[in-house]
Amino acid sequence: MSRQFDGGYLGLLLWHASQNVPFYAKTLSAVFENGQIDLNRFQRIPILAKKDIRVFRENLTSRDINSRKWKWIRPAQQVNL
């Protein structure tokens, strides 16, 4: 039986990354089935290495980065989601 996860912040983050970050468009397709995240497939996501960040830097940036509203916080501040 497949455990599926279709909501919450993790689901939103993974869906956003798969739709808006070119590097993850193909990578995260391994964990989606019929539009839902299958946790049994998480081991198929490769670990992001430092060399990947260097090589694929532009492909790791979200396409909508310039349309986002940014807010600077101090590291000690708590972020409530």
Note the pLDDT tens digit of each residue in 16-69. 898 899 999 888 888 888 878 887 787 888 899 999 999 999 999 999 888 888
The whole-number pLDDT of residue 27 equals 86
**How confident is residue 2, by pLDDT bands cut at 50, 70 and 90?**
very low
Token pair recorded at residue 68: 């986002």
Number of H helices, E strands in the chain: 3, 3
Quote the pLDDT of residue 55. 95
Each domain of the chain, given as residue ranges in start order, spans: 4-63
pLDDT band at 77 (very low <50, low <70, confident <90, very high): low
